[in-house]
Chains A and B, each alone.
Chain A
Amino acid sequence: MSEDDKSFMLEILTPDRVIFSGEIIYLRAPGIEGSFGVLKNHIPFLTALDIGEIEVETSDQKYFFAAGGGFAEVLNNVVSILAETAERADEIDVERAKKARERAEARLRARTEGVNANRARAALVRAMTRLKIASKI
């Protein structure tokens, strides 16, 4: 590895598949206490992830992912993202996300309180994140 090599490893994993695995030069991910960026030689870092957008830059391309919460570990130039769910921008089913958004909005309008309202709010955030990311390609 030469001095000006800026690349490090990233793996994005969900319980049912490997979403991304490869050398990258920049990562931005939605930490629970705010979005954070990672470059080469980042200090060891362990964080919970919020629902949101993951941005990945390789030496020649940019990728966007919609993540549905989880964890990230940065250690020794290897970043592991253990997400509950994650999709690459071009895999997002826009129709399904739109329907999910409508459903969630309808539920919130019905003003049910407690667990259901929280779930609807989370579903709404997930759907809106997906739509936002899908629009980036």
Chain B
Amino acid sequence: MATLRDIRRKISSVKSTQQITKAMKMVAAAKLRRAQENILKTRPYAYRLNQVLGHVAGLVDRSIHPLLEEREAKRIGIVAVTADRGLCGAFNQNILRKATEELEAQTKDVKDVFVIAIGRHARDYFRIRPYPVIYESYDFFSHLEFANAVRISEEIIRLFTQHELDHIHLVYNEFKSAIQQNLTVEQLLPIQPVKPDIGRRKLEYLYEPSPDQILDALLPKQIDIQLWRVLLESNAAEQGARMTAMEMATDNASEMIDKLTLYYNRVRQATITKEITEIVGGAEALNK
């Protein structure tokens, strides 16, 4: 049986762990607020840009711009967006599992697959797995800037236009609410056409200047903005996941402390009872 001192020590250890998880929860809540603001501000622009480009992609000749080119998908790139840090529940594991599933599925179709690892967890995971990592970027979520998205975007555009990759998919956590993330798989390149909602009429745009000049300016921006949005989504989702995970850890610690305290009292009582019995027994022996 554990001695009283052992139990006391255990209780105080759980208590200090609880203090840490509580603090982490509060830090995550504060960061979540900022991250949530950022993603909510960026979404309207990103969605609309996506839509406008989708319209254009459905109209123009695809060979007009290298970023619209539809090739036979032989070399597939999967962009796995995880966090740099852990202690956020199943946040990273979900991404890595989904990304691995995608990689396996593509490999079955006899495709060459490559990983673009974003976030420290993706990098550490794929470094020791059989899928080749073609590009990695990590340790930037704590000071996330638009330049981070641009750097990744430039590399992805290079890989695509130099035919190193024919299709590029994103796997990331979309921010839904503080307690919910949506595991999302999206095609980034080539850009998917979106059918405009105009009924049966045939759509013909008037362009100023020419379509290829507009696309030249819009397409790289589109990739920048979409990646920026995805990084912001993932960042907000990560803070939400961490907040929930730490809240649960704090609750679990409370429960554990309650149980241990109960146990402690029981042991204490048992010890006292035993001592009394011993004393009474001793006294009786003397009386005889």
Instruction: Identify which of A8-16, A58-66, A88-96, A103-111 touches chain B.
Output: A8-16
Set of chain B residues within 8 Å of A32, measured between Cβ atoms: 208-209
B217 contacts A by Cβ under 8 Å: yes
At the interface, is chain B mostly helix, strand, loop or mixed?
A: helix
5 contacts between A and B (CB under 8 A): A14-B45, A17-B41, A46-B56, A46-B206, A47-B214
Q: Is the CB of B196 within 8 A of A76?
A: yes
Contact with B along A100-132 (1 / 0, CB 8 A): 000000000000000000000000000000000
Contact B52 A71, beta carbon cutoff 8 Å: yes
In angstroms, Cα B207 to Cα A31, docked, is 11
A73 with B55, Cβ < 8 A, contacts A15-B225, A46-B206, A48-B213 known: yes
B45 touches A13 (CB 8 A): yes
**Chain B CB within 8 A of A39 CB:** no
Residue numbers in A under 8 Å from B45 (CB-CB): 13-16, 18, 82
CA distance A114 to B214 in the complex (A): 24
Residues of A near B205 (CB, < 8 A) are: 44-46
Closest 4 CB pairs of A and B: A47-B208, A13-B45, A73-B52, A45-B206
Chain B residues whose CB sits within 8 angstroms of the CB of A71 once the complex forms? 52, 214, 217-218
State the CA gap A15–B221 with chains docked (Å).
11
Closest chain B residue, CB of each to CB of A42: B206
Query: Given A45-B205, A46-B214, does the pair A13, B48 have CB atoms closer than 8 Å?
Result: yes
Q: State how many angstroms separate the Cβ of A130 from the closest Cβ of chain B.
A: 21
CB of B286 closer than 8 Å to a CB of A = no
* Cβ contacts A1-45/B at 8 Å (1 or 0 each): 000000000010111111000000000000111000000000111
A17 to B45, CA, bound (A): 8
User: Closest approach, in angstroms, between the C-beta of B230 and any C-beta of chain A?
Assistant: 14
Q: Chain B residues with Cβ under 8 A from A73's Cβ?
A: 52, 55
Contacts of B55 in A (CB 8 A): 73, 75
Shortest C-beta distance, A137 to chain B (Å), equals 25
B42 interfacial contact with A, CB 8 Å? yes
Interface string of A57-87 (1 = CB under 8 A from B): 0000000000000010101100010100000
CB distance from A24 to the nearest CB of B (A): 17
How far, in whole Å, are A73 and B211 apart by their CA atoms in the complex? 13
For A47, the chain B residues whose CB sits under 8 A away are 207-208, 214
Residues of B contacting A48 in the complex (Cβ-Cβ under 8 angstroms): 208-209, 213-214, 217
Nearest A residue to B218 via CB reads A71
The answer to whether B203 has its CB under 8 Å from any CB of chain A is yes
The residues of B that contact A17 with a CB separation of less than 8 Å are 41
- Chain A residue nearest to B55 in the complex (CB): A75
Q: B204 contacts the other chain (Cβ, under 8 Å)?
A: yes
- A9 to B261 CA separation, bound complex (whole angstroms): 64
> With A80-B51, A82-B49 given, can you name 13 additional A-B contacts, CB distance below 8 Å?
A13-B48, A17-B41, A18-B44, A44-B203, A44-B206, A45-B206, A45-B207, A46-B52, A47-B207, A48-B209, A48-B214, A71-B218, A75-B55
